[in-house]
């Protein structure tokens, strides 16, 4: 097991796979590094992929720092330096995309290319309602129940017709049960309090936004109470968008081959 110890005592588990330019993955809430178990082997054909668990997730120990999403971004920034890299290509998905957005705004020097999948800069009221049900499930029924609830919202309808759907759902339950429910709840409450839209002018890295056309959690164009990728794409000067068809929120699981291709094409062009 490879770990890094941060300045406030957090122990961060991580692994590196493949060789080439560094690609750091930041996972979504509840998952831990297994969020990328399908994408990493594909991305590792062209990159040195760095997967890690945020504090309180998977194999990492510690708590999320104060300061909301920007406090989390500081933990990841410190972790990047601990791995020996001055600069990385950064891919965050969902909760991890929000952290990556903060990191790219506040520490642009460490981000070469920025890839953000399936997130909102500010959650709309529908997303807050959805997250509220997950917090109650985490407290009352545990993280395996949260895995099932998020799966209902997170996958495209056609996913459930695939032969590998049930093993994938079980893999998610296994990943979620390694997450501390209180860490998940704290992360969710951080998301609900966050509005990143004021950070958009500070993003200077070339940015790729990946969306699923059936993403019900973080739709490309949310209700007016939220700020989604459609607005972010208009405000960023150097931004591309790709929408994956018949794909939900969990695009790194549903269509990892296409996600890996889009990321490699974007970084290598």
Which pLDDT score is estimated for 31? 87
End-to-end CA separation in angstroms for the chain:
34
Q: Which of 139, 10, 170, 133 is nearest to 82 (CA)?
A: 10
Q: Which two tokens stand for residue 244?
A: 């994956």
Which pLDDT score is estimated for 56? 87
Q: Over 80: is that where the pLDDT of 1 sits? A: no
Is residue 31 within 8 Å of residue 143, measured between CB atoms?
no
Average pLDDT of 216-232?
97
* Residue in the block written with tokens 């958009």: 200
What is the residue extent of each domain of the chain? 2-268
Average pLDDT of 222-226?
97
Q: 201-216: per-residue pLDDT in tens?
A: 999 999 999 999 999 9
Q: 126-151: per-residue pLDDT in tens?
A: 999 999 999 999 999 999 999 999 99
pLDDT: which is higher, 58 or 104: 104
pLDDT > 90 fraction of the chain, expressed in percent and rounded = 92
Which pLDDT score is estimated for 41? 98
- pLDDT band at 237, cuts 50/70/90? confident
Q: 5-59: per-residue pLDDT in tens?
A: 999 999 999 999 999 999 999 999 888 899 999 999 999 999 999 999 999 898 9
Secondary-structure class of domain 2-268 per CATH = alpha beta
Q: 240-258: per-residue pLDDT in tens?
A: 999 999 999 999 999 999 9
Which pLDDT score is estimated for 154? 94
Q: How far is CA 260 from CA 79, 184, 248, in A?
A: 24, 27, 16
* Residue in the block written with tokens 């495209």: 156
DSSP string, 49-69: EEEE--TTSTT-BS-PPSSHH
Kindly report the pTM of this predicted structure: 0.95
Which pLDDT score is estimated for 250? 96
Q: Which of 148, 159, 177, 214 is nearest to 57 (CA)?
A: 177
Q: Which two tokens stand for residue 110?
A: 């460490």
Which pLDDT score is estimated for 226? 97
- pLDDT band at 95, cuts 50/70/90? very high
Q: Which residues contact 222 (CB under 8 A, 6 or more apart)?
A: 120, 123, 124, 126, 127, 228
Q: Over 70: is that where the pLDDT of 75 sits? A: yes
Q: Over 90: is that where the pLDDT of 110 sits? A: yes
Which pLDDT score is estimated for 63? 86
Which pLDDT score is estimated for 201? 94
Which pLDDT score is estimated for 144? 95
**φ and ψ at 115, to 5 degrees?**
-120, 125
Is residue 57 within 8 Å of residue 32, measured between CB atoms?
yes
């Amino acid at each position: 097991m490879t770990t890094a110890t941060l300045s406030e005592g957090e122990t961060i588990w991580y692994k590196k796979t493949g060789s080439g330019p560094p690609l750091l993955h930041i996972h979504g809430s509840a998952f831990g590094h297994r969020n990328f178990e399908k994408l990493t082997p594909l991305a590792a054909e062209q990159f040195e992929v760095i997967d890690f668990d945020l504090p309180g997730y998977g194999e990492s120990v510690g708590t999320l720092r104060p300061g909301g999403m920007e406090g989390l971004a500081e933990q990841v920034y410190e972790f990047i330096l601990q791995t020996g890299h001055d600069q990385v290509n950064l891919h965050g998905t969902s909760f991890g995309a929000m952290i990556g957005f903060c990191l790219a705004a506040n520490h642009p020097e460490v981000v070469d290319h920025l890839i953000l999948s399936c997130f909102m800069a500010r959650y709309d009221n529908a997303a807050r309602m959805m997250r509220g049900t997950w917090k109650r499930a985490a407290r009352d029924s545990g993280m395996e129940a949260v895995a099932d609830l998020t799966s209902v919202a997170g996958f495209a309808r056609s996913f459930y017709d695939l032969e590998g759907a049930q093993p994938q759902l079980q893999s998610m339950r296994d990943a979620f049960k390694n997450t501390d429910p209180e860490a998940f709840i704290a992360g969710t409450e951080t998301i609900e309090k966050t509005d990143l839209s004021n950070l958009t002018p500070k993003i200077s890295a070339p940015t790729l936004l990946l969306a699923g056309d059936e993403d019900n959690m973080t739709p490309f164009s949310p209700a007016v109470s939220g700020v989604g990728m459609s607005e972010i794409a208009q405000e960023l000067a150097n931004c591309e968008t790709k929408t994956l068809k018949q794909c939900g929120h969990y695009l790194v699981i549903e269509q990892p081959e296409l996600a890996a291709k889009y990321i490699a094409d974007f970084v290598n062009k």
